Structure 1
Amino acid sequence: MKKFSILIAGGGSTFTPGIVLMLLDNLDKFPLRKLKLYDIDKERQDTIAGACEVILREKAPEIEFLATTDPEEAFTDVDFVMAHIRVGKYAMRELDEKIPLKYGVVGQETCGPGGIAYGMRSIGGVLELIDYMEKYSPDAWMLNYSNPAAIVAEATRRLRPHSKILNICDMPVAIEERMARILGLKSRKEMTVRYYGLNHFGWWTDIRDKEGNDLMPKLKEHVAKYGYVVNDGGDNQHVDASWQDTFLKARDVYALDPDTLPNTYLKYYFFPDEVVAHSNPDYTRANEVMDGREKFVFTECKKIIENQSTEGSALHIDEHASYIVDLARAIAYNTHERMLLIVENKGAISNFDPTAMVEIPCIVGSNGPEPLSIGEIPQFQKGLMEQQVSVEKLVVEAWITKSYQKLWQAITLSKTVPSAKVAKQILDDLIEANKGYWPELH
């Protein structure tokens, strides 16, 4: 059986140890010969890599391990690049969230002006990774789950149309795992779903078990009362109070269109006033993460390095990241697994822009994804998606042409922003904050 060489780009991420543990847990399905970490921040990566080295020595000493800041060393001889980079790290995320809130606008990592700011930083970073991969390992595939996935996907469609990059998001996976728990199923893989939308902006229209029984009525009954809240202690990642609020809020989002089940992120577009009212402009989600997961992961990694042992370590497998292995396996072994990916529409949603990057079920094999046909979508969703896809396209256009005007239009068009005046105020603050990260706009 062929063994694979994997590069994790964004090696200094707090998610890297969970992903490494997940990969090691799946070696029977997806064997590895080499695992590499790449990051431009050596200090951050060294801590994560030091712990990963100990983990590998204990669990799979036969796998060659390397952490590097040198692109040639990183990208040479790899089969898959798993990319989760955050350009500007949490310090910039904090500004993405706090600057809009100053003007009474949603401050969120991927939605509204914060997502636009993050997108303007991410485009160059992801393109750089693609170029390294194509130079040093031209046959490799990039599995990208760097946010904001919608803007990144549009940028790669425009600027690297022939590159072997697949854009995927874990939010539908996380919600489907909750659905499975609501239904009393062992795993989301016992469900076959139909879903359409844009990234962080979509709806489930049909969910069945493998026998074809309709599971929607039972799910709708639960969501109408409790949203996606499941009190069974089965989730390691989304435990903070802010996530619980988000899962509960899904019941109000659902009420707008009870024919479908919504992605949780729609709350930022449908209830921006409530989101702002519940936000603390001095302590946002970025602060929660820095004080929570960030400290936890780095403390645990330092302990592992100090003890040269994982004994007593509280780091856990990122179970729901196993969709990344499913995607890699689908390409490597031509499994034809059905997965939600972000792909060019090309008529899959028949009454929607063919060039839009939509999130829909695809059958994945060694040639990449084959999107399934969705057909026509209702006016409500179509209108929302057309507005949002226009925001994403304008952001990418602004990045390419370095246009202040286009970026102002993008922020004005976001459903989270009340007026062009407020959009301009936010934009001017974001430009100031993102010096050195964004192209210089004119």
Structure 2
Amino acid sequence: MADLFAGMDPAPTAAARHADNAPLADRLRPERLEDVVGQDHLTGPEGAIGRMVAAGRLSSMILWGPPGTGKTTIARLLAAEVGLRFAAISAVFSGVADLKKVFAEARDHARAGQRTLLFVDEIHRFNRAQQDGFLPFVEDGTVTLVGATTENPSFELNAALLSRAQVLILHRLGQSALDQLLTRAEAEMERPLPLQQAARDALIASADGDGRFLLNQAETLFSIDLPEPLDAAGLSALLQRRVAVYDKDREGHYNLISALHKSIRGSDPQAALYYLARMLTAGEEPLYVLRRLTRAAIEDIGLADPQALTQCLAAKDAYDFLGSPEGELAIVQACLYCATAPKSNAAYMAQKRAWRTAKETGSLMPPANILNAPTKLMKQIGYGEGYQYDHDADGGFSGANYWPDDLPPQGFYEPSGRGLEKRIAERMAWWDERRRAIQAAGDDDGRS
């Protein structure tokens, strides 16, 4: 069965895999790359890994994904697929001495004609200097590096290392893939899980895309002699875990957080409260929800009502102070405030426009009149010359130019005219009118 075992490390030997005392997850480790579940976008014929295996040549890569999605499994199977020696280290337990030993062994094998696939688990835990140590061995082909990380490589790995490795993203396992894992577990144990269908769905939901966690939970259930199949409530009590109570057609908490965010954006407080309740009663981490509410406050409300951000941050402080369940009321209040606030994405759009222009014109100097001149030389070459102190100007507004000489004034921020932004728009329009009048007067003085 293809695509059935992502999230489980492959066993070193078939004997160990089928030993009676081996954990269920180990006994169900895949033996072929096509048996990995949930990662067809990488391992399939059209995927990056599938193409490399078909060509018989691997490039160094970083496997980025949540726990239990098959990173270690894929690395070990890749070595077998293309005939490379497999070596593995963990950045959690390894230091410089371990790296030197691994590279020396790889070099010895390379001289004998045997190339090495070096798998580095939790590679982001190596510091910058240690990461730099990989470069010469990757460049000269001593090792083909396959690193695994649960953290964003853009933030955790050196640019030099990233430039020499392809970043491949593994997906969290969906409901279908997790259900297949349970089916194979039942075949291995030669009996069905002692669960009603609703409890089986709840068990899958509780795994949150982690195949190994799901099989560990299943192994616990197989080890207990139960008089009759459990319902969802009985499962939750037995495993001492708040099992998510999602609808059967649920595809993950990402769908619910998206629904919550879009309900807030659409100014529907009733729907927003419903999705908030769905997430919190299912055991979602409250701080995760608060982060998304804060994002909505700055992306979809912004300066139309700046208090939305204050409400979200206050809700976070209140929850930290009170805990559950009392602190959840503060989350409810922040959610309702955001849903009923006037909406504007003007700041969000302004950021995107400003960032784009900054990337295109990042080398332009600001005009000399607004540059500081702390030295005599800088004053001599015109830094700060002609600067107008706005507080001394008529109306507290000088109308001076603040843009680089080679960049005309841009219009990044366009207030929506809703909520507080209506007043901001009026204020900006007044400044624009004054600026034009001051510039026109300056032009007239120049002509005279």
Whether TM exceeds 0.5 here: the answer is: no
| Greater helix share, structure number | 2
Give the structure-2-normalised TM-score: 0.27
Give the structure-1-normalised TM-score: 0.27
**Which structure carries more relative contact order (alpha carbon 8 Å, separation 6+)?**
1
| Greater strand share, structure number | 1
